[in-house]
Amino acid sequence: MAEREVDRSVSQTVKAQLALRDQILSGSLRPGERISELQAVETTGASRTPVRMALVRLEEEGLLEAIPSGGFMVKAFSERDISDSIELRGTLEGLAARFAAERGVSARELEPLKECLAAIDELLRQVPISIEAFSSYVALNARFHALLTELSRSPPLIRQIDRASALPFASPSGFVMAQSALPEAQQILIIGQEHHRVVIDAIENREGARAEAVMREHARLAVRNLRLALRNRTHLDLLPALALIKTTTD
């Protein structure tokens, strides 16, 4: 069959996985909806085998749920699920910060973190922050969290944090974007930046408990703000992950 257009730059499995994730997060596939393999084959352009592999991976990732009688459906999340996921990630990042502090980190390793910090400081100097600056902030914040996670030098922990961030609303970018809908967005970003500053200081001074505590507080702040943000959903259209939230909160 030569009529199928094949992109050989990435594997069909990866292509299918990305395409399906996109469909889920964009809301083309609604929560609770069963995913038809045949339909997925048509929309992704891959054949059934890679599509099935992608479905298995997305299930492990937490975006899909296996149906006992066979097949997969898009998972639905309650507001509580979301806030728990954020707090969960905060707890893991707290452990990462503690590991970093207790195990010691060289000045050279801390350098990229400090650069991130300075770059964010620079952005926050504008009042009010522009849209472009905000999207830079989202990227820098994600980078800061990723670097911090790496500092733990614990592959099992890093792996688990990555898993916890797989759900888009639990990723650093996800909840930052949600919070941006709030009128107090700028102040929130400034407080978050203060947390970043404290965790670096704590790691530098080898204060494990303090490093851990501030990361957990960081997450708790995010949870509170997300709750507020979800109250006035009108501003949240930009958040693709919203498609996954159950309309009826339990």
Partner DNA sequence: TCCTTCGTTATTGTATACATAACGCATACA
Partner DNA sequence: TGTATGCGTTATGTATACAATAACGAAGGA
Residues within the interface to DNA (CB under 7 A): 1, 4, 6, 8, 11-13, 34-38, 46-50, 52-53, 69-71
- In terms of DSSP H, where are the helices of 125-207? 131-151, 155-164, 172-179, 185-204
What is the spatial distance between Cα 25 and Cα 34, in angstroms, rounded to a whole number? 15
Tell me which of its own copies, DNA, none is bound by residue 1, counting a contact when its beta carbon lies within the kind-specific cut-off of 5 to 8 angstroms: DNA
What is the spatial distance between Cα 103 and Cα 95, in angstroms, rounded to a whole number? 12
Residue type, position 177, single letter: M
- The mark string for 142-181 relative to its own copies (x by CB under 8 A, - otherwise) is ------------xxxx-xx--xx--x--x-----------
Q: Is 175 helix (H, G, I), strand (E, B) or coil?
A: helix
What is the spatial distance between Cα 226 and Cα 17, in angstroms, rounded to a whole number? 28
What is the spatial distance between Cα 56 and Cα 62, in angstroms, rounded to a whole number? 10
Q: What is the nearest approach in angstroms of DNA to the Cβ of residue 32?
A: 14
Question: How many residues belong to the site for its own copies (CB under 8 A)?
Answer: 27
85 touching its own copies, by CB under 8 A: yes
Task: Give the footprint of its own copies on residues 86-105 (CB under 8 A).
Answer: 87-88, 91-92, 95, 99
What is the spatial distance between Cα 77 and Cα 80, in angstroms, rounded to a whole number? 8
239 touching its own copies, by CB under 8 A: no
Where do contacts with its own copies occur on this chain (CB under 8 A)? 49, 52-53, 56-57, 60, 62, 80-81, 84-85, 87-88, 91-92, 95, 99, 154-157, 159-160, 163-164, 167, 170
